[in-house]
Structure 1
Amino acid sequence: MKTNVLILLFVCLVMADLAIAQSQPSAVPADRPTRQGVTENYGPVVATIIQRGDAALENYTPALAVVTGNEFSRLYFDIFETSGMEFTLGLKDNAHMLKIESGFSLMISQSMRGEPKEKLLKAWQTMKVDLNYAVEHYSSGDKATSFWGRTTQSFVILFREGVEAMLVVAALVAYLRRSGYAHKVKVIWYGVVAALIASVGAAWILNAVIQASGSNKEALEGITMLIAALVMIYVSYWLTAKSDADRWQTFIKDNLDKAIGTGGMFAMGSVAFLAVFREGAETILFYQALIGGSTGQLNAIWTGMALAVVALSIVYVIVRFASIRLPLRLFFSATAILLFAMAFVFAGQAILELQVSRYVPTTALDGWPMISWMGVFPTRETMAAQVLVLLTLPAGLLWLKFKKKNRQQIQQVAQVPGS
């Protein structure tokens, strides 16, 4: 019940923020493109991107590296993103949208570094194929989106953005309940409510400044995902350590109060906050774009939201039910694995967002696959971040093994008479 109330609260906050945003006068500079809501007619957008990209590369020399890099940056933020193509394509095929986003990142970084023209042309040809593929397979032309088409888009936004956060929150709540600390669950909900409020604030601020610097949204997403990945790694090992206790009941009696009192609860509350905050601000911006391009279709958007609330509630109930049925150690281990896997995905996606924002360079790995749902992208920087995450696995397990052995030695000494 509490979960349903929080989801409905978030939906109300979304609509309140949209009303405020629409009532405010625009502060966008006159020389900067304004956001156009959404478009599903990708032909004109792609034609503009290709025409300007071809022109930029035709005149390219290493001496014009910065000029060319800035042009591809503008093509991403002022055309691909501002037109709404990034948004609607992401609803239809998020993997392909991320592939194009990765291509922009590569073009910006390579041109900024003054790479040879032949290398840029090769990357550009690949990217043009991806852009034309989007036109051929996902563009709706000039046809208006139907009621159920808009409903589906609205549903996908809330469900896709909310399901990851829902899984994390449900797992943490179940962990505390099964540990005999149901009264501590409120800390998780405090984190969720704080994240919902912070999401609205962040979206409002981003909405005010994003036109002045389109990279703000991607940079915020990247930084938030990096922080979330770090906290999730910490909590995953914290949970692993608890599941490895030889006698759970003894652990509960002797250690859990201390663990919770010295940072465990703060860490779990932080995970709940970051999981919801990461999705919340982006969800509001998505709905702003959807409503901006959906004249007379608000009922469809509300219908999609309502269906998503029902679906998310079902997911929460399933997770809660499964958490009760699973053996305790298996449940804790599964929760730790879920958080670690999400940290791995977040690390790759975070670096990609920072690459598009030009805060992190992009070095292509030729022949390396792109697996978007795993956050795997063909660049050295994204792979390096994920390798670092993976390296924490053996390091963390060795540390836990050392701590367990040390604890056993202390217990043996304590049992020796006269010690």
Structure 2
Amino acid sequence: MLGQFVISLREGLEAVLLVAILVAYLKRSGRAEEVPYAYYGAIAALFTGFAAAFGAVAIYGGLEEEQKVLFEATASYLAVAVLTYMILWMAGKNVKEEVESKAKRKFLWGIALISFVFVVREVFETVLFLTPFAARDLHGTVLGAVGGISLAALMSFAIIKLEYKLSLRRFFYVTSVLLTFIASGLVGYGTHELVEFLEEKGYESWLFEKAYDLGFDESSPLHHKGIVGGVFAVLFGYSASMEWIRVFAQFGYLLVFLAAVNLKYGVLSVKKSREVKEVTE
């Protein structure tokens, strides 16, 4: 549930914050009559997202057991691809400037469209990211998503009230690091499911053999399906046993993209500090 909570918090914050900034900009620029259209677009995006979520659940429920394994593997890899792109894309973005630049033109349904695009993008990403989790734990995924989105809404309005004095950059950096761990876990889970599918098809390889096995059975709280291990499994990709190919894929991804996130935020910080220094001199 914690992994689902973090994903929903991050995506929910982006969606609600974008709409809140759009509304604040319209009010400050004397265009309060256009504010309802921003809400219309956001509401339409939510309904579209709910339809996508129900569609994903319906498709999964209608699959055979072998197809479900392949579906979970594919959904995990697809979620990782989009999640990775989103993490790296967000680094260096000035959210406030981007929203206000798009809202400068005055046309009512255009405001609704801007709001719709902002929100539906985040909703689709959230549905995509949560699909592998929902396939394993629908109840925990729903609770985590509701909790994350609720907190995101509170944080977004608090940020608007504080006039952006809170460090969004620091928030996105910390959550980017945590999401990188979650994404690496999805790489590992997707690889494990793919191995199961290939073995059922008769494929064999030394890469499919166990790299290690901690010896915990499923009744143990330290197993990756147990109470304690399950938390670490979602947040950090922990598993009581792993195939060699999963070790290479999961930890290879983690090392590469942890370095990429830190490099991206680090380089941007250095660049920003240099620009500030040049202006003050």
Aligned counterpart, 1:273: 124
Unaligned runs of 5+ in 1: 1-155, 244-250, 291-304, 413-419
Distance verdict in 2 for CA 1:214–1:394, change over 3 Å: closer
Picking from 367, 380, 395, the partner of 2:263 is 395
Q: Does 2:168 correspond to 1:332?
A: yes
The share of aligned pairs that are identical, in percent, is: 13
Contact 1:219 1:357 in 2 (8 A): yes
Partners of 1:410 and 1:232 in 2: CA distance: 31
- SS of 1:377's partner is coil
Partners of 1:327 and 1:237 in 2: CA distance: 21
Aligned counterpart, 1:173: 16
Aligned counterpart, 1:205: 59
Partners of 1:365 and 1:284 in 2: CA distance: 26
Picking from 354, 357, 368, the partner of 2:190 is 354
- SS of 1:330's partner is coil
Distance verdict in 2 for CA 1:333–1:257, change over 3 Å: same
Deviation at 1:387, TM superposition (A): 1.4
Q: How does 1:208-247 map to 2 (within 5 A)?
A: 208-239=62-93, 242=94
- SS of 1:197's partner is helix
Contact 1:222 1:353 in 2 (8 A): yes
Distance verdict in 2 for CA 1:310–1:181, change over 3 Å: same
Q: How does 1:130-209 map to 2 (within 5 A)?
A: 161=4, 164-178=7-21, 180-181=24-25, 191-209=45-63
Contact 2:3 2:182 in 1 (8 A): no
- What is the identity, as a one-letter code, of the residue corresponding to 1:364? A
- SS of 1:358's partner is helix
Deviation at 1:325, TM superposition (A): 5.4
Cα distance per residue 1:364-412 (max 9 Å; x no partner):
3799x98424324372321111112211124313552576489779989
Aligned counterpart, 2:235: 374
Aligned counterpart, 1:70: none
Contact 2:13 2:155 in 1 (8 A): yes
Partners of 2:45 and 2:185 in 1: CA distance: 23
Distance verdict in 2 for CA 1:234–1:181, change over 3 Å: farther
Partners of 2:124 and 2:74 in 1: CA distance: 15
- What is the identity, as a one-letter code, of the residue corresponding to 1:279? L
Partners of 1:324 and 1:272 in 2: CA distance: 21
- What is the identity, as a one-letter code, of the residue corresponding to 2:83? A
Contact 1:195 1:274 in 2 (8 A): no
Distance verdict in 2 for CA 1:404–1:319, change over 3 Å: closer
Cα distance per residue 1:129-179 (max 9 Å; x no partner):
xxxxxxxxxxxxxxxxxxxxxxxxxxx7xx985674255213431254246
Bigger radius of gyration, 1 or 2? 1
Contact 1:163 1:312 in 2 (8 A): yes
Partners of 2:136 and 2:147 in 1: CA distance: 21
Partners of 1:346 and 1:357 in 2: CA distance: 17
Distance verdict in 2 for CA 1:309–1:195, change over 3 Å: closer
Q: Does 2:251 correspond to 1:383?
A: yes
Partners of 1:259 and 1:349 in 2: CA distance: 38
- What is the identity, as a one-letter code, of the residue corresponding to 1:323? I
Deviation at 1:279, TM superposition (A): 2.5
Deviation at 1:340, TM superposition (A): 0.7
Cα distance per residue 1:220-255 (max 9 Å; x no partner):
33123213322331343044xx28xxxxxxx84x99
Q: How does 1:28-47 map to 2 (within 5 A)?
A: none
TM norm structure 1: 0.41
- What is the identity, as a one-letter code, of the residue corresponding to 2:211? A
Distance verdict in 2 for CA 1:328–1:313, change over 3 Å: closer
Partners of 2:145 and 2:259 in 1: CA distance: 38
TM norm structure 2: 0.56
Partners of 2:256 and 2:150 in 1: CA distance: 35
Distance verdict in 2 for CA 1:160–1:351, change over 3 Å: closer
Q: Does 2:98 correspond to 1:257?
A: no
Unaligned runs of 5+ in 2: 27-34, 106-113, 199-206, 215-221, 223-228, 240-246
Picking from 211, 220, 226, the partner of 1:364 is 211
Paired positions, count? 225
Q: How does 1:63-102 map to 2 (within 5 A)?
A: none
Partners of 2:10 and 2:125 in 1: CA distance: 13
